[in-house]
């Protein structure tokens, strides 16, 4: 794997190398920009928003089949379609990976095999036999991660005693306790609370021997095993929590926790039902939607009850059904895609009075969060504001989307009321929305100076040692990519590197810069993503481009540019940082590198010209770019994403900003805005806000 990725850095067609005084021809550049802009406008939905497919790995389709089997519906036609899609994604060696081109993943492969078998695929078929052999060579089904084991227990293939305990009694712990529900990341909370109900009831549908997967285990599935391997060091926190897990199960089996269990379960159920409101499912993400359906069955809700129909609809809405296959999205990304599209269109010179732009702005303003959510439990005095990622997810605005929407509004704010060109538009005050969003965003800064995604200071490392925390996302700590994006947004509203809160963020970024000069990308793959976003954020707040922090990042980006002029990085770099910046070149990652370099003042460099030439040479006739690799991140090392609109609006931004940079050079006025995300908001419209305002 490593060797093939290293080789890819020198693969691909050699493109003409531009000299420093020979920019990419303007006419060619403008044609590329116009084609991409036209394609983006063509993709707008009728109500004004944009949304692309969000693709994950086959655990989504596999878990759907396992759920349907639990409901007794494994012969449903949609199960057969999902199984055909799973089979299409199988690797030649028989396994499945969590990203294209990645290594065999045990948990992904076990669920895929189980799903195919439940859908009626013959275990003696050559592709099934290859899958079985690979799974056994990786240690067998007993070595799967915690969440996979729960699915195996749900269908009677593995004992609940060998699964990690998820005690509903967590709901009773006070906020001053080191471990409590709101000390974990928001997405883990949305998973764990329904899962605690699931765990308390321990539902099972017993399958026939022919449907089961005994062949995937190296020893009897009933063999007592800890939910996670013990560490050699007896005094480790992992071992402490494994002992606690064993003690809890012993007490549970003897009815000792029966009295607090009833109160805890009621609190968990009440929480679950409360979070149905204003939501596309709890957290608007796939895992809690599945667990909600299981919980409702445990609680006695019939399949035709209003709550069960609602939960099943949220699952249906994530499906993309084609003639003979079905695939499922982990969630949907309309706010994110719409905000990024509006920034790209503004970069490409589209006026904020353009009808389609105005409709997009109106759509975003309609999705502002105006109610308290999970974040307010730990921040009770903070007024609501901000934006979420999906269509409806009012409990969970996030800093990343809020920052991106604020940038889109800053670029399209000449009319604070909805323009007359937008039919049936409500008069929404853009200034008021941005003030609320800025106030909320600033108040979410962590004590270390950085920003996380959904909450403040969710960084208690000890919680990562609990047995059910092997999804690698128990916490929500500050990360460089979001911190850089927040700085970029703040710069649009007049904040500068001279302010204390920005200085605090700069210190965080300086501490987290890698020795190579790059920054880790928590929400995109990976070091290219993090480095781009930090460089743009630094430029936006007026940070010195000559500072060593910036120059080291520039050197790294130039070092990892490939012979074809593009950039690429595989998800493998999360597991092996030595391959940072290496992988098949992609349009989105090339655009990120270009945006970072231009923000650092490298707009007239040979590296940028070669990157622009790469984008123009690989653009499709319809104005888009083709991209196979996953360049988005859900849970590093565990779950990755492919945003289908990334290879459109990001390359458009890069081309448009380069065009502006060479125009500035041509006029003899090399602007300090080279590589910035548009002209700064004028002084008359600058909004300076702090958490105490």
Q: Which fold has domain 57-328?
A: Glycosyltransferase (1.50.10)
47 CA to centre of own chain: 25
Lowest mean pLDDT among 5-9, 54-58, 259-263, 284-288: 5-9
**Any idea what the Cα angle at residue 450 is, between residues 445 and 452, rounded to 5°?**
75
Give the chain's count of helices (H) and strands (E).
24, 5
Please state, for a pLDDT cut of 90, what percent of the chain lies above it.
Answer: 85
**If phi over 0 gives left and psi between -120 and 50 gives alpha, with beta otherwise, what is residue 360?**
alpha
3-state SS, one letter per residue, for 473-532:
CCCECCCHHHHHHHHHHHHHCCCCCCCHHHHHHHHHHHHHCCCCCCCCCCCECCHHHHHH
Residues 202, 160: contact at Cβ < 8 Å? Answer: yes
Model confidence band, residue 472 (pLDDT cutoffs 50, 70, 90): confident
Sign of CA dihedral 566, 102, 326, 391: negative
DSSP-assigned letter for residue 414: S
Sorted by where each begins, the domain ranges of the chain are: 1-42+500-676, 57-328, 330-459
What's the CA gap between 493 and 680, in Å, rounded?
8
The confidence score (pLDDT) of residue 667 equals 62
DSSP letter assigned to residue 201: H
Kindly give, in sequence order, each residue whose CB lies less than 8 Å from that of residue 367, ignoring residues fewer than 6 positions away: 335, 387, 388, 391
- Return the axis-axis angle of helices 500-512 and 480-492, rounded to nearest 10°: 150
The tokens of 329 are what? 């999205």
Residue 667, number of CB atoms within 10 A of its CB: 9
258 Cβ neighbours under 8 A, 6+ residues apart:
none
Positions marked catalytic: 400
Higher pLDDT, 416 or 116: 116
CA 286 to each of CA 52, 170, 256, 328: distance values in angstroms, whole numbers, following the listed order: 17, 22, 34, 9
Mean pLDDT, to the nearest integer, of 614-634?
Answer: 97
Q: Where are the beta strands (DSSP E) in 90-202?
A: none
Question: What are the C-alpha distances in Å from 176 to residues 128, 180, 378?
Answer: 51, 8, 11
- Which has the closest alpha carbon to 9: 559, 518, 521? 559
CATH label, 1-42+500-676, candidates 1.10.3210.10, 1.50.10.20, 3.40.50.720, 3.90.580.10: 1.50.10.20
CA separation, residue 386 to residues 8, 404, 437, 451 (Å):
41, 10, 4, 14
Task: Report the top-level CATH class of 330-459.
Answer: mainly alpha
What gap in Å lies between CA 13 and CA 62, rounded to an integer?
38
Q: Same fold for the domain at 1-42+500-676 and the one at 57-328?
A: yes
| Contacts (Cβ under 8 Å, ≥6 apart) of 54 | 329, 330, 331, 332, 333, 632, 641, 642, 643, 644
- 199-208 mean pLDDT: 96
In this predicted structure, the answer to whether residue 180 has a pLDDT above a threshold of 60 is yes
What pLDDT is recorded for position 76? 95
Question: Three-class SS of residue 436?
Answer: helix
How far apart are alpha carbons 58 and 679 in whole angstroms?
Answer: 43
What's the rounded mean pLDDT across residues 598-603?
Answer: 96
More confident residue, 511 or 690: 511
Lowest mean pLDDT among 320-324, 414-418, 427-431, 671-675: 671-675
Q: Greatest CA span in the chain, whole angstroms?
A: 82
């Amino acid at each position: 794997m490593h060797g093939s990725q290293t080789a890819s850095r020198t693969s691909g067609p050699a493109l003409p190398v531009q000299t420093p005084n020979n920019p990419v021809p303007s006419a060619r550049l403008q044609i590329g920009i116009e084609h991409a802009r036209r394609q983006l406008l063509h993709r707008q939905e009728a109500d004004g928003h944009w949304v692309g497919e969000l693709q994950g790995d086959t655990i989504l389709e596999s878990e759907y089949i396992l759920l349907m089997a639990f409901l007794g519906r494994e012969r449903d036609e949609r199960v057969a379609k999902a199984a055909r899609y799973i089979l299409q994604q199988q690797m030649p060696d028989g396994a499945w990976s969590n990203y294209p081109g990645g290594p065999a993943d045990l948990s992904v492969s076990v669920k895929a095999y189980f799903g195919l078998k439940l859908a009626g695929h013959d275990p003696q078929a050559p592709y099934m036999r290859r899958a079985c052999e690979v799974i056994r060579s990786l240690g067998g089904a007993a070595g799967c991660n915690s969440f996979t084991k729960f699915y195996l227990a749900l269908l009677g293939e593995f004992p609940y005693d060998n699964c990690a305990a998820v005690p509903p009694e967590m709901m009773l712990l006070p906020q001053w306790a080191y471990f409590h529900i709101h000390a974990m990341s928001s997405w883990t909370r949305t998973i764990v609370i329904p899962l605690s109900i699931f765990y308390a009831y321990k539902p099972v549908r017993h399958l026939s021997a022919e449907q089961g997967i005994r062949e995937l285990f190296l020893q009897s599935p009933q063999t007592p095993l800890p939910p996670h391997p013990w560490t050699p060091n007896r005094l480790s926190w992992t071992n402490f929590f494994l002992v606690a897990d064993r003690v809890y199960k012993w007490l549970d089996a003897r009815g000792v926790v029966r009295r607090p269990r009833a109160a805890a379960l009621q609190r968990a159920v009440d929480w679950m039902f409360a979070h149905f409101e204003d939501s596309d499912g709890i957290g608007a993400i796939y895992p809690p939607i599945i667990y909600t359906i299981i919980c409702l069955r445990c609680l006695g809700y019939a399949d035709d009850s209003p709550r069960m129909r609602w939960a099943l609809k949220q699952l249906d809405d994530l499906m993309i059904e084609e003639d003979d296959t079905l695939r499922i999205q982990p969630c949907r990304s309309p706010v994110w895609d719409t905000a990024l599209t509006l920034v790209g269109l503004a970069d490409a010179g589209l006026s904020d009075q353009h009808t389609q732009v105005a409709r997009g702005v109106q759509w975003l303003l309609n999705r502002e969060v105006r109610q308290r959510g999970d974040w307010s439990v730990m921040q009770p005095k903070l007024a609501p504001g901000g934006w979420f990622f999906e269509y409806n997810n009012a409990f969970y605005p996030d800093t990343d989307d809020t920052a991106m929407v604020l940038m889109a509004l800053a670029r399209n704010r000449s009319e604070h009321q909805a323009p007359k060109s937008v039919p049936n538009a409500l008069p929404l005050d853009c200034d008021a929305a941005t003030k609320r969003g800025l106030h909320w965003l600033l108040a979410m800064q962590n004590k270390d100076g950085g920003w996380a995604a959904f909450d403040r200071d969710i960084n208690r490392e000890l919680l990562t040692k609990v047995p059910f925390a092997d999804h690698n996302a128990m916490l929500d700590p500050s990360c460089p990519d979001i911190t850089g994006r927040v700085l970029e947004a703040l710069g649009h509203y007049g904040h500068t590197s001279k302010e204390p809160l920005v200085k605090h963020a700069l210190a965080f970024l300086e501490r987290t810069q890698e020795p190579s000069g790059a920054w880790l990308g928590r929400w995109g793959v990976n070091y290219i993503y993090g480095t781009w976003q930090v460089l743009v954020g630094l430029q936006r707040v007026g940070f010195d481009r000559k500072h060593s922090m910036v120059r080291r990042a520039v050197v790294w980006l130039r070092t990892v540019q490939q012979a074809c002029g593009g950039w690429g990085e595989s998800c493998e770099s999360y597991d092996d940082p030595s391959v940072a910046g290496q992988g098949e070149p992609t349009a989105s990652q090339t655009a990120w590198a270009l945006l970072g370099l231009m923000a650092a003042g490298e707009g007239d460099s040979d590296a940028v010209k070669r990157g622009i030439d790469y984008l123009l040479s690989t653009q499709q006739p319809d104005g888009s770019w083709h991209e196979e690799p996953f360049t988005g991140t859900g849970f590093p090392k565990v779950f990755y994403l492919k945003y289908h609109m990334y290879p459109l609006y990001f390359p458009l931004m890069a081309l448009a900003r380069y065009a502006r940079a060479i125009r500035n050079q041509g006029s003899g006025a090399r602007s300090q805005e080279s590589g910035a995300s548009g002209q700064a908001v004028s002084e008359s419209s600058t909004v300076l806000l702090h958490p105490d305002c």
